[in-house]
Structure 1
Amino acid sequence: MTGRGARSAARADLLVAAVLVTANLARIPHVLTLHPAEPARTIVLAYLLACADLLAIAVRRRYPEAALAVATAAPLATTALPVRPALIGLGIVLCAYTVAVQAPWPRAATIVGTAFAVHLAGGLTAVAAGGSVDGLLAFWGAPRDAWTMATGAAAAYFLPAMAGLTVRTRRVHRAETAARIERDRAAAVAEERARIARELHDIAAHDLSAIVVQAGAADRLLDRDPEAVRATLRSIRVQGRDTLTALRTMVGLMREPDDRTPRPAPLEELVRRARDIGLTIEHRTAGTPRRVPVTIDLAVSRLVQEALANAREHAPGAPVTVDTEFGDTTLRVTVRNAEPDRGPAPATADPGRGHGLLGMRERVQHAGGDLRTGPDSGGWRVTATFPLGPEDER
């Protein structure tokens, strides 16, 4: 319960206790006329004990155990008096409930059980001494024998305790559910942040590294072939514009996951960019091309980018084929590179690139696909298969 809610509940308890105490004290003049033979101080004492029982209601949330102790002692004390107020014992019901709501069940059972045992022992002692036990929970009737007194006392303690246990169990369940939802939300936020980081890293790794490669080539050709430098600079300009488009696409994917979302660059565009920086690539498509979900489209785009970057780094000069096959229920994308005709590029030639096979696998699995990689006739093959359903055709 929040601080404001707790204060409101405490004020409500105080109000209820004040009303009950006022009603209890208001009966004293009437009871004095009904029992003229009894000393006035005895009647007043009985009603003051009843007030102690009722005032325990006012502090039951803040001091539940102490309140139950007071509510238990007050009815026992009235067994020695000839007059029992009608409201005596009401505090037991509310305090037993409060103990069960606030305390863990083993502790609550111990407290309520101890209070009941004390109450029962006091009632049996009063019965054995020949006294009346009308004052023990008189709202249950007028229990004049041990059996009726014990039954009424057990009901007064354990029925509200069971109700309190039920309420506590539900509250704990709601709290656990809320905590689980919060953990899931935090995990989703962390996953989304990781996905954004991967997207940014891939754009920097693939697109910007290509710009760096072309800028280096332009620098080497500056004095020898100005026309080639101009062509390279135009290619850099196009590549930079495409990189900005990729960034906007990524932000759009994060904000608007629907049909209006910008799509990743098509494979033809990825192939063209790779050719511009020197790769020999053949792109082949089988089946009837159709629009696929954004998650698959993005996975395919990043997969091909990563595979081409791997081919450029680890198999420089080797021809590459990109095969796209649209089946009735699947989309298969395969990137193969032949055996390189010269040794691999130095490890520092393209620093900071991609997330490798692990990044590929995460992307493909996120889109519901399956990734297979391995050697292929001296080269390397990457194959991703994605499921497509009728709903994907649009």
Structure 2
Amino acid sequence: MPMIDFLRWPGSLGGHTPWGRDTAAAVVAIVLVLVVRTVFGLVTGGGTFPGSWPLFVVANLPTVADLATIAIRRRAPRIALGLATAVVLASSALPTAFAGTGIGVLVCAYSAGTLLSRRSALTSLIGFGLVHAVGGAITVSLGGSLSTLITFLGNDGSTPTDLVLASLLAYGLPGLFGLYIQTRRVYIAELAARLERSDAERELRAWEAVAEERRRIARELHDVAAHDLSAIVVQAGATDRLVERDPAKARESLRAIRAQGRETLTALRGLAGIMRASGPHESEDPAELAPQPTVSRLADLIAVARRAGMTVESTTEGEPVPLSTVVDLAAYRLVQEALTNARRHAPGAAVSVLLRYSGAELRVVVRNGPGTEPVVLPSVSDGHGLVGMRERVAHAGGRLSAGRTAAGEWQIDARLPFGESGVT
């Protein structure tokens, strides 16, 4: 069984804390060694244990102490490695010690590499490795034997080269492997954190895109509901007064209401198609794929307003130029919203619409005076119409001002850049 698997196997015995798992690993290792040595002694002795039991216990003390250092390898890596080194050197001076002492040094050297910082780990490994080599040299000079110790690789330490090489292998190999494991863990943790941040950023961008699309659809719904439906309400009210007095004109007004209703229904179906479609080619209904309104259709918009009883004057100054899609739609919706607000809040007031192409921008100015008729239309915008206009203009890269003029008129003044499709 590999060393790392051996250390993880008793984890269920020691609970879920590192201290508990290490203690369980040390206890299991000690018990296994003692059982194996006891059974081996009984088998070789023909059922009778060779030697005395007190001597057997004393001979196993270095092994027990060596394996016990595993219990504190994560709580105190330096202390564990120092104790394991001291036990190995002390056992070399004990003539009755069993062979095989030194497993604790290998495990604690690996733990120092995985748990300590790179600098601390290298310092500890080099320092205790030197102590191990010097201690081995002293033991040999005093007539002791190193051949029974795992950390000295079975050599007798007769030359300094053997001692240094043994220390390098006993401390360097497991320590460097531990450093590699630590580096790999850090890399994996950083990679996981980076992936988590990437997922969070991707999710945030998706939510922002969804929120922007919802705002756009909300603006479109507001424009359709506020302008087209309010125009139908006004025309229906006017038709009701014409039914008995002028039936022919009433029928004409009803036809206009029907046409306006069809146009409104088409717009609403288009928005519903956008919300229902999951891909760019899913919707195949021509009504749902109808183009967005543009400045070129302002004449139709103003004609509808005039049929609804409004007095609208339209003026265009400068040479019209192609506009970007965002600017084109923003200009149309701006005039549409301004006409709706005038009809709702100032019924009967004359409205002027000015489009001025100059420099690199389109200026849209809509003015209306005070109303001459009582307000009969309920508000459907709840104060969000002006906010929507500002959002549209800002989205198109322009700026908007709204308020009363010195003459007492209400004015909407927007300056929109031509955009990529325009003349700059």
- Normalization by structure 2: what TM-score? 0.60
| Mapped pair 1:270 → 2:293 | yes
Unaligned runs of 5+ in 2: 13-17, 241-252, 304-313, 315-319, 340-351, 371-382, 398-413
Give the whole-Å Cα distance in 1 for the aligned partners of 2:29 and 2:177.
20
Q: Return closer, same or farther for 1:25/1:149 CA change in 2, 3 Å cut-off.
A: farther
Secondary structure class of the residue paired with 1:383: coil
Q: Give the aligned partner of residue 163 of structure 1.
A: 177
Q: Deviations over 1:57-81 (max 9, x none)?
A: 4664566455434422221211221
Offset at residue 382 of structure 1 (A): 3.0
Show the counterpart of 2:388.
Answer: 352
Partner residue in 2 for 1:317: 353
Q: Which runs of 5+ in 1 are unaligned?
A: 287-299, 322-335, 362-377, 386-394
Give the match's secondary structure for 2:238: coil
1:201 CA displacement? 0.1
Distance 1:384 1:262, change over 3 A: farther
How many angstroms does 1:200 deviate by? 0.4
CA RMSD of aligned residues (A): 4.8
Deviations 1:161-198 (A, max 9, x none): 10111111112111111110110010000000000000
Distance 1:236 1:268 in 2: 14
| Equivalent residue number for residue 247 of structure 1 | 275
What SS does the corresponding residue of 1:87 show, helix, strand or coil? coil
Given that 1:49 and 1:74 are in contact with CA atoms closer than 8 Å, whether structure 2 keeps it comes out as: yes
Question: In the alignment, is the contact (CA less than 8 A) between 2:66 and 2:101 conserved in 1?
Answer: yes
Q: Give the alignment partner of residue 80 of structure 1, picking from 88, 93, 98.
A: 93
Give, in whole Å, the separation in 1 of the partners of 2:285 and 2:166. 74
For the pair 1:195 / 2:205, whether they are aligned, the reply is no
Q: Does structure 1 conserve the Cα–Cα contact (< 8 Å) formed by 2:292 and 2:329?
A: no
What amino acid does structure 2 have at the position aligned with 1:50?
A: T
* 354 and 115 in structure 1: CA distance in 2 versus 1, 3 angstrom threshold: farther
Q: CA deviation at 1:222?
A: 4.0
Q: Judge which range, 157-166 or 311-320, deviates more.
A: 311-320
Q: Does 1:45 align with 2:58?
A: yes
Give the Cα separation in 2 of the matches to 1:17 and 1:384: 79
**Residue 146 (structure 1) shift:** 5.8
Report how far residue 342 of structure 1 moved: 5.2
Kept in 2, the 8 Å contact 1:123–1:136? The answer is no
Question: Which residue identity is paired with 1:133?
Answer: L
Q: Does structure 1 retain, via aligned residues, the 8 Å contact 2:353–2:365? A: yes
CA contact (8 A) 1:306 1:360 kept: yes
Structure 1 partner of 2:120:
107
- Give the Cα separation in 1 of the matches to 2:284 and 2:71: 63
Rg bigger for which structure?
2
- Maintained 8 Å contact 1:267/1:301: no
CA contact (8 A) 1:317 1:341 kept: yes
Larger mean CA deviation between 203-212 and 66-75 belongs to 66-75
How many residues are paired up? 329
Superposed CA deviations along residues 209-235 of structure 1, whole A, max 9, x for unmatched, are: 232122333344443245345544443
SS, match of residue 419 in structure 2: strand
Kept after mapping to 1: 8 A contact 2:283/2:289: no
Cα distance change of structure 1 residues 97 and 117 upon mapping to structure 2, 3 Å threshold: same
Helix, strand or coil at the partner of 1:352: helix
Q: Is the 8 Å Cα contact of residues 78 and 135 (structure 1) preserved in structure 2?
A: no
Go from structure 1 to structure 2 and tell me whether the alpha carbon gap of 1:95 and 1:354 turns closer, same or farther (over 3 Å shift).
farther
Contact 2:102 2:149 in 1 (8 A): yes
Q: Write the distance in 2 (CA, Å) between the matches of 1:31 and 1:111.
A: 42
Give the letter aligned to residue 293 of structure 2: L
Q: TM-score, normalised by structure 1?
A: 0.64
Report the CA distance between 1:126 and its aligned residue: 2.6
